[in-house]
Amino acid sequence: MPGPALEPGTQVVMESSDLQKFIDVLWRKGYHVVGPTVRNGVVVYDELKSVTDLPAGWTDEQEGATYRLKKTDGKAFFAYGIGPDSLKKFLHPPVVRLWRARREGAGFQTVEETEEPPKYAFLGVRACDLHAVAAHDRVFTSEEYADPSYARRRRDIFVVAVNCAKAGNTCFCVSMRTGPKATVGFDLALTEILEGERHYFVVEVGSETGAAVLREIPFKEATAAEKSAAERVIAATAGQMRKALDTTNIRELLYDNPEHPFWDEVAERCLTCGNCTMVCPTCFCTAVEDVTDLAGETAERRRHWDSCFTEDFSYLHGGSVRASAKARYRQWMTHKLAAWLDQFGTLGCVGCGRCITWCPVGIDITEQARALRDKGRIERPSVTVGEHASP
Amino acid sequence: MDRRRKPKLAVWKFSSCSGCQLALLNLEDELLQVAGAVDIAYFPEASRAVAKGPYDLSLVEGSITTPHDVERIKDVRRESKYLVAVGACATAGGIQALRNFKDVNEFVSTVYASPEYIETLAKSTPIADHVLVDFELRGCPINKRQLLEVLSAFLHGRRPNTPPHSVCVECKQVGNTCVMVAQGIPCLGPVTHAGCGALCPAYNRGCYGCFGPMETPNPEALSEQWGRLGVGEEEIVRAYRGFNANAEAFRKEGEAREKQDAQS
């Protein structure tokens, strides 16, 4: 098709009425399309076949420990803030079987996992979650510690990002430099625009794979007016954002105050339930368990999500080294905002705010960081890490 | 198959509803496998055929509520190589431990026509208060998958995988939506031991705490949150006075809230 050269960075326009065609093309190309849909009173990611499954006419209100869906009169498909699900559910699933073993005579035979995960296309991914995927890439695909299970799932994904048109009350991507505009890790990025009767998407090309999909649906070059409409949406979202986490010398702040009484205060409220780590799109810790059948004929090793808030997580010979809630909360926050820098060169927090919304008692990492900054002292000289401390 | 003697399994009942023993019979698909792996030597709920002890593995259901129970559990312990307490009665005292918060003699005189024939203890207590227990399997009732896991683990000399963390971890693993955050439904999940597979939240109900306190519970902080959701002290007390009322963390929180309720 003659038309604009679809180089990365090119912006085109797709009418909202062509969104179904777009989804169909992805299925036709062999992708298992996953997108946002309303289930059980929240927006989750699940299989997406039809535009009618998208959360059109829904938005949400979030606060610490509170999430409520609200009906709107609007037609927008993506006028909601992020729900509890991130891509972690698909790329780093809660339970993975690593291998099996079968008894044979006096010995045993191992059976390799050959299951091929679906080739996923994700629709509606927000900028913060793309940074989370980038963080997982660093964790799981480093040369020394590559994880084949993650690599298999991650390799062929197709990502359609959506730039946030609304700031949630608990998210703080602006201060983490991770949003609200998608800048990395997408094949196509959409900005949804409603202007009077017109409903369209400004689509930014992120990769050649993205361009190839685009060529199969109707689109036209974006005008200057359309491009600036998209910019206004993103700027408005950034302007709405209420929460912020000041990352200046955050690593030194955490490393220099491990015994500060501040930690006792947060420990009084912390349930050590682990919800924050489960909904966190970057938390990646797992445990393995071995299971045998009654007859002792087969055994298997499973890997499942674990949390630094459980006692078993830090169990060494003789007991858990982080027996108290204080030690666990400190571990979690210090890892996210300090040790992660040493380990992976970025912060472990993308500012999505899920840990705030889904904490049953509403503990707020931005407030905790602020409280520590107000009360704690930085003793060591500050060191700049990387250019920017965002994942 | 190995030719060693099959391990002998015994299933004992103390003060209980027999629901946990039923979990064993409810294994259905695996029951024949169980019977193949162990010699079911003593299980009155299932069979009148009784083989003498000693037993390799004893599953004990029920709590200790009578002077006779106190003696009988010692006999069971003597006859058992491994003793596993199963269910909320055996691990916490069960629903019948509600007596622990009142004067049992008042109940006895109200309920029975001839109270002089009743010999009962002032408190209902878990098995571990009386004899050494090798493992405790939680739940009211226990989860049959977990029971199978415990049996497999004991047969093969490994530690059972019955994680003591919160129900929340299970909820997130199975993909349930948090009923407390998304719907404002009071839920005991954050202070409750996992194992049920997060059953109630999957049906939009708050957790009832059937599996007792999780490893490091913070019921005080949870009660504060319940208060913010509009739950009164009296209701909070009632929530903790369930099947695991006598489990330490639940008992203490119930007592603390009862005191506050009395003061207000």
Each residue of A332-383: pLDDT tens digit? 999 999 999 999 999 999 999 999 999 999 999 999 999 999 988 888 766 5
Domain boundary assignment for chain B: 8-155, 167-263
Work out the percent of chain A whose per-residue pLDDT is above 90.
90
pLDDT of residue A328: 98
Token duo for residue B147 = 């029971």
List C-alpha distances in Å: B237 to A19, B110, B231, B250.
53, 24, 10, 9
Cross-chain Cβ contact A275/B190 below 8 Å = yes
Q: How many helices (H) and strands (E) does chain A have?
A: 14, 16
User: HEC states along B103-154?
Assistant: CHHHHHHHHCCCHHHCCCCCCCECHHHCCCCCEEECCCCCCHHHHHHHHHHH
User: What's the CA gap between B136 and B16, in Å, rounded?
Assistant: 16
A104 touches chain B (CB under 8 A): no
- Cα A152–Cα A181–Cα A21 angle in degrees, nearest 5: 65
pLDDT of residue A1: 47
Q: Looking at this predicted complex, what is its ipTM?
A: 0.95
User: What's the CA gap between B138 and B87, in Å, rounded?
Assistant: 5
Q: Give the residues across from A165 on adjacent strands.
A: none
Q: What is the mean pLDDT of chain A?
A: 94
A271 touches chain B (CB under 8 A): yes
Cross-chain Cβ contact B172/A65 below 8 Å = no
- Cα B5–Cα B11–Cα B17 angle in degrees, nearest 5: 165
pLDDT of residue A313: 95
- Min CA distance, B5 vs chain A (Å)? 14
Looking at per-residue pLDDT, the higher value among A109 and B2 belongs to: A109
Of A290, A294, A312, the CB nearest to B163: A312
Contacts of B122 (CB under 8 A, 6+ apart): B99, B100, B104
pLDDT of residue B99: 96
Work out the percent of chain A whose per-residue pLDDT is above 70.
96
- Length of chain B measured in residues: 264
Q: Which residues of B touch A294 (CB under 8 A)?
A: 30, 33-34, 36-37, 148, 151-152, 155
With contact defined as beta carbons under 8 Å apart, do B14 and B133 qualify? no
What does pLDDT average to in each consecutive run of 10 residues of chain B (264 residues)? Answer: 77 97 93 93 91 96 98 98 98 98 95 94 98 98 96 92 97 96 98 98 97 98 98 97 98 95 84
Looking at per-residue pLDDT, the higher value among A143 and A141 belongs to: A141
Disruptive mutation site among B181, B203, B253 for chain A (greatest number of A CBs within 10 Å): B181
Each residue of A269-320: pLDDT tens digit? 999 999 999 999 999 999 999 999 888 899 999 999 999 999 999 999 989 9
Topology at the third CATH level for domain B8-155: Rossmann fold (3.40.50)
Q: Is the pLDDT of residue A4 over 80?
A: no
Each residue of B73-101: pLDDT tens digit? 999 999 999 999 999 999 999 999 999 99
3-state secondary structure of B60: strand
Cis peptide before A55 (omega within 30 of 0): no
Q: Closest Cα to residue A244, out of A301, A324, A175? A: A175
Interface of A with B in 139-198 (CB under 8 A): none
Disruptive mutation site among A86, A88, A271, A303 for chain B (greatest number of B CBs within 10 Å): A271
Token duo for residue A324 = 């108290």
Looking at per-residue pLDDT, the higher value among A133 and A142 belongs to: A133
Q: Which amino acid is at A119?
A: K
3-state secondary structure of B36: helix
With contact defined as beta carbons under 8 Å apart, do A192 and A186 qualify? no
Token duo for residue A18 = 């062509």
Q: Is the pLDDT of residue A238 over 50?
A: yes
Cross-chain Cβ contact A89/B175 below 8 Å = yes
pLDDT of residue A384: 54
Q: Give the residues across from A104 on adjacent strands.
A: A107
Of A89, A271, A278, the CB nearest to B221: A271
Contacts of B10 (CB under 8 A, 6+ apart): B41, B42, B43, B53, B55, B57, B58, B59, B76, B79, B80
